[in-house]
């Protein structure tokens, strides 16, 4: 008769790990779907709340910015207080913020609620993969993590369609509000199930967060984004340029602060080893450029279709769907390549997005009184496949140059840089679009022509940004895939 050693029982995988994973996936799905679902609702929000051009930009940018600024400190706070606790707090906060968004009586309240929603999302997101990594034994992690990619793809596909349906249905006369209110029962169910199913992971009270670093980094990014969005509305006054200079100054102070803490052996918001790693910082810059075009692009396309050509929200969501389908297809295919051909894959991906959006831009520039939604299908599908392929490649390229001891911090930092790029992109694309739209109406252009001209100008930014990524790709060091699973990739000179 055999007996199981005492230590084996304690090392056995938690029997609740698969139900717990389902809870993590649901919460992650809710967060990712909310990002895509809002794009379809922007024209309805603009009309229903009487929002200005800059205010409707802030509906998108406020969430992205808050999410970006919260990722690093909340990731560290999860280490200190416990990942499960922060996850449940994050889901609860996201649910409450969704209710505030759905019940917002004016645009100012909506923007404030979006900030809270972004911070709650940042509290929740870093814990998700960390909990899964600890809960699952090594031989099950690949299967578990693959489900996160699948759920992300499904969220990107279902978001525009569900958002369009909910708005077009005008449930109980609520117009756009249900896109947020639908999160409430999902969030409540996730919190209750998570309380019982997700193992309690202890924190490390000896760790400390870098609150000064958080302040400097936050003020620096806000100093750059705020004047870009608001500058045009105020006629580009001197304070707008002074604020951008001050923002850059804050970021410089942030680097000096991080260096001083590193020299003193104290914890840092962003590891100084990463800041001093030239290849990592180069990769982070390329990632920011890569991530900057898409959020603003969907802002422009939704306003073009609904505001310029009277599409319903559902028609607009369906028109955008090929892009999400492309991302989903790419997420399935990219995993098969592993760490092979990373530079080539990034270059091809950037070229696909530039070509796809470039073709869409030239189609829109030639539109007169009628716009064909089927003409959006090929370019958006090509661009979606490119974006989905490129994200996998660029993250692997950058992290291959990071020592294993800094891999976790590097991954979290890259996600923050990605979101900062998205916020800057919304500001720049929005400035191009709304500036040109105002000029068109002032010159007496009709509705169709004014929106088409504004959109075709704004989409140039997307084309140029991905062209820059294509041109910078050869400057990454070449990465050789590991000879066998589990071995680190080999980085060689270009």
Token representation of residue 254: 């942030």
- Within the chain, how many helices (H) and strands (E) appear? 18, 2
Tell me if 231 sits within 8 A of 255, measured CB to CB: no
Average pLDDT over residues 243-254: 93
Stated pTM of the model: 0.83
Rg (CA), the chain: 23
- Indicate the SS3 state at residue 413: helix
In this structure, CATH architecture of domain 270-494? Up-down Bundle (1.20)
What are the pLDDT digits (tens) for 112-125? 999 999 999 989 98
Residue 61's nearest CA partner among 299, 287, 247, 286 is 299
What are the pLDDT digits (tens) for 435-447? 999 999 988 888 9
Same fold, 14-202 and 270-494: yes
What are the pLDDT digits (tens) for 9-48? 446 777 888 888 899 889 888 888 887 788 888 999 998 9
Q: From the CB of residue 370, how many other CB atoms can be counted at a distance below 10 Å?
A: 7
Range from 194-208, 244-258, 356-370, 382-396 carrying the lowest mean pLDDT: 194-208
Percent pLDDT > 90 in the chain is 39
Tell me if 71 sits within 8 A of 125, measured CB to CB: yes
What is the largest distance, in Å, between two alpha-carbon atoms of the chain?
91
User: Chain-wide mean pLDDT for the chain?
Assistant: 85
Question: What pLDDT score was predicted for residue 342?
Answer: 87
What is the residue extent of each domain of the chain? 14-202, 270-494
Question: What pLDDT score was predicted for residue 195?
Answer: 93
Residue 277's nearest CA partner among 105, 403, 408, 110 is 403
Distance CA 224, CA 221 (A): 5
Domain 14-202 annotated CATH 1.20.1250.20: yes
Tell me if 258 sits within 8 A of 213, measured CB to CB: yes
């Amino acid at each position: 008769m055999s007996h199981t050693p005492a230590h084996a029982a304690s090392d056995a995988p938690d029997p609740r790990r698969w139900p717990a994973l389902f809870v993590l996936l649901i919460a992650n799905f809710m967060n990712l779907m909310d990002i895509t679902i809002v794009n379809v609702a922007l024209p309805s929000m603009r009309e229903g709340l009487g929002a200005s051009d800059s205010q409707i930009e802030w509906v998108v940018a406020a969430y992205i910015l808050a999410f970006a600024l919260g990722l690093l400190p909340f990731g560290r706070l999860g280490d200190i207080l416990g990942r499960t606790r922060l996850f449940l707090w994050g889901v609860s906060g996201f649910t409450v913020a969704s209710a505030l968004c759905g019940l917002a009586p004016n645009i100012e309240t909506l923007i404030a609620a979006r900030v809270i929603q972004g911070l709650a999302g940042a509290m929740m997101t870093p814990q998700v993969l960390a909990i899964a990594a600890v809960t699952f034994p090594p031989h099950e992690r690949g299967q578990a993590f693959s489900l996160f990619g699948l759920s992300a793809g499904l969220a990107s596909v279902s978001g525009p369609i569900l958002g369009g349906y909910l708005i077009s249905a005008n449930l109980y006369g609520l117009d756009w509000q249900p896109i947020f209110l639908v999160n409430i029962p999902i969030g409540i169910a996730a919190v209750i199930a998570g309380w019982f199913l997700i193992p309690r992971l202890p924190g490390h009270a000896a760790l400390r967060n870098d609150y000064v670093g958080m302040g400097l980094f936050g003020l620096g990014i806000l100093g750059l984004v705020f004047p870009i969005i608001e500058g045009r509305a105020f006629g580009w006054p001197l304070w707008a340029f002074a604020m951008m200079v001050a923002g850059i100054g804050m970021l410089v102070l942030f680097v000096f602060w991080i260096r001083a803490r590193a020299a003193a052996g104290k914890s840092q918001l962003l590891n100084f080893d990463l800041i001093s790693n030239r290849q990592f910082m180069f990769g982070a810059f390329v990632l920011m450029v890569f991530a900057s075009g898409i959020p603003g692009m969907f802002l422009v396309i939704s306003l073009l279709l609904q505001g310029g050509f009277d599409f319903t929200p559902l028609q607009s969501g369906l028109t955008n769907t090929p892009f999400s389908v492309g991302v989903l297809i790419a997420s399935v295919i990219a995993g098969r390549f592993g760490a092979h051909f990373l530079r080539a894959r990034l270059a091809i991906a950037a070229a696909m997005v530039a070509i796809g959006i470039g073709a869409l831009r030239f189609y829109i520039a030639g539109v007169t009184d009628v716009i064909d939604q089927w003409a959006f299908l090929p370019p958006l599908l090509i661009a979606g496949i490119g974006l989905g392929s490129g994200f996998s490649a660029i993250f692997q390229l950058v992290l291959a140059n990071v020592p294993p001891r800094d891999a976790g911090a590097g991954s979290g930092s890259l996600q923050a840089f990605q979101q900062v790029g998205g916020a800057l992109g919304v500001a720049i694309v929005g400035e191009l679009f709304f500036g040109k739209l105002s000029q068109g109406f002032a010159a007496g252009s009709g509705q169709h022509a004014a929106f088409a001209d504004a959109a075709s100008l704004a989409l140039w930014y997307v084309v140029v940004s991905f062209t820059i990524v294509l041109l910078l790709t050869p400057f990454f060091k070449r990465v050789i895939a590991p000879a066998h699973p589990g071995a680190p990739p080999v980085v060689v000179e270009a």
